[in-house]
Structure 1
Amino acid sequence: MSQLAAPAIDEIKEAFALIDDWEERYRYLIDIGKALPPLAPEQRSEENRVKGCASNVWLVTHVERPGPDAIMRFEGESDAHIVKGLVALTLAFYSGRPAREVARDDAFDLFRSFGLEQHLTPQRSNGVRSMIDRIRRDAAAAMSA
């Protein structure tokens, strides 16, 4: 796995399909989190912080072609290893997709398909939900811009 970018969502899905052990899955999440490019210090601002996360999570939204055909790109980071992996997983699912798909699709369904929902603390699940909700709100706003 490259240290320059987190893996694509299809690569992550394939890896999860091959990894049965939850300790290994957590290690994989940590590894994909380490592959996220770091945010610039000024991007780790209160404005970019995701509210509702116990750990610090910062999310930067980029919109290409605002309006009905908007394309969404995201950057993110966390100060907690597993959470950073959850950020990487979420961004792999959403980044580069049309805003209409981002606003419609709930990445938590992907988390459920991996069995992550039952292996996350309620606090982490709430934080992931907050991040997903923020991404989907940003996509809806991009479409109406």
Structure 2
Amino acid sequence: MELLHEAKVDNVFIGDSEATVKTLKYINEYLQNHIITILCNLLSEYKHLYNKEINIRPDQPENIIRLLLPRKPNVGIRHNIVRHRGSIVMQNRLAARYSGEVYLVKHDLPFEARSNVIGFVSPEYVNLFDQIDADIRIKLIPIN
């Protein structure tokens, strides 16, 4: 992904004879549709976010990746813990108009009462965060 996205190369040859069909499918999905597949685990009430093509907001701060999903008013306050790199977070009602906004954490962040941790990205997929910008879509896939 890094070669394709940052170096703008046209072709990448994979020399790993043990690459899984699933991994090759994810690479092809990126090549064909600019969709990065991310394996993750979401709390049960957020499983509706799985398998959707999600756009990325054009306005991106340094520490998070803001997903372009509809906001929801009055999201309850729960699971607000330290936000580690790879956390999936939804803003709660304390965030006022940002309630329901979802983002991925690129760098460890401290506890924030306005932020509910709703899941986490599989560690081997967290480095893909460096390739995500507004021209990319993501798809969250359950870890098993």
- Tell me the TM-score range normalised by the shorter chain: under 0.3
The structure where helix makes up a greater share of residues is: 1
Relative contact order higher in (CA < 8 Å, ≥ 6 apart): 2
The structure where strand makes up a greater share of residues is: 2
* Greater Rg over alpha carbons, structure: 2
- Give TM-score scaled by structure 1 length: 0.27
- Give TM-score scaled by structure 2 length: 0.27
